[in-house]
Amino acid sequence: MTDIKKIDDQSAKVTIPTVTRRSVSPRCDIHENDTAVILFADMPGVVTDGVNVQVHGDVLTMNGRSSVSEPERSTALWREYATRDYERAFRLGQAVDADHITAVIKDGVLRVELPKRASTSPHRITVKAG
Amino acid sequence: MTTCAMSWDPFRDIETMLSGLDHANDRAWSTAGATPGINVYATEETAVVTSELPGVQTGDLSVQLYEDVLTITAKRISDPAATDWLVRERPDLDFSRSVNLPFSVDPEHIEANLKDGVLSISLKRTADDRPRHILVNHA
CA B118 to chain centre: 7
Q: What is the DSSP letter of B139?
A: -
pLDDT, residue B21, reads: 55
For the CA atoms of B14, B16, B20, B25, the dihedral, rounded to the nearest 10 degrees, stands at: 70
| Chain pair A-B, CB pairs under 8 angstroms | 172
- Domain range for B106: 37-80+90-129
pTM exceeds 0.80:
no
* Helix locations, chain A, DSSP H: none
- Domain range for A49: 2-13+21-68+80-118
- Nearest residue to B114 via CA among B76, B70, B58, B32: B58
DSSP, collapsed to helix, strand or coil, labels residue B123 as strand
Amino acid at residue number B114: L
Q: Which residue of B has its CA nearest to A29?
A: B88
Write out pLDDT tens, residues A42-100. 999 999 999 999 999 889 999 999 988 888 889 999 999 888 899 999 998 888 888 89
pLDDT, residue B55, reads: 95
Considering the domain boundaries, does residue B9 fall inside one? no
Strands B38-42, B46-52: pairing is antiparallel
pLDDT, residue A72, reads: 87
Considering the domain boundaries, does residue A85 fall inside one? yes
Q: What is the pLDDT along chain B (139 residues), one digit of tens a residue?
A: 444 455 555 555 555 555 555 555 444 444 444 689 999 999 989 999 999 999 999 999 999 999 889 999 999 988 888 888 899 999 899 999 999 998 899 999 999 999 999 999 999 999 887 778 899 998 8
- Nearest residue to B111 via CA among B39, B47, B40, B31: B47
Is the confidence metric ipTM above 0.95 for this complex? no
Record: contact A77-B5, CB cut-off 8 A: no
| Cα–Cα dist B80/B77, whole Å | 8
Give me the residues of B, 105-124, that contact A with CB < 8 A: 114, 116-118
What average pLDDT does the structure give for chain A?
84
Considering the domain boundaries, does residue A7 fall inside one? yes
pLDDT, residue B133, reads: 85
Considering the domain boundaries, does residue B19 fall inside one? no
- Give the number of domains in chain A: 1
- Give the number of domains in chain B: 1
| Cα–Cα dist B83/A74, whole Å | 45
Give me the residues of A, 5-44, that contact B with CB < 8 A: 5, 24-25, 27-34, 37-40, 42-44
Considering the domain boundaries, does residue A44 fall inside one? yes
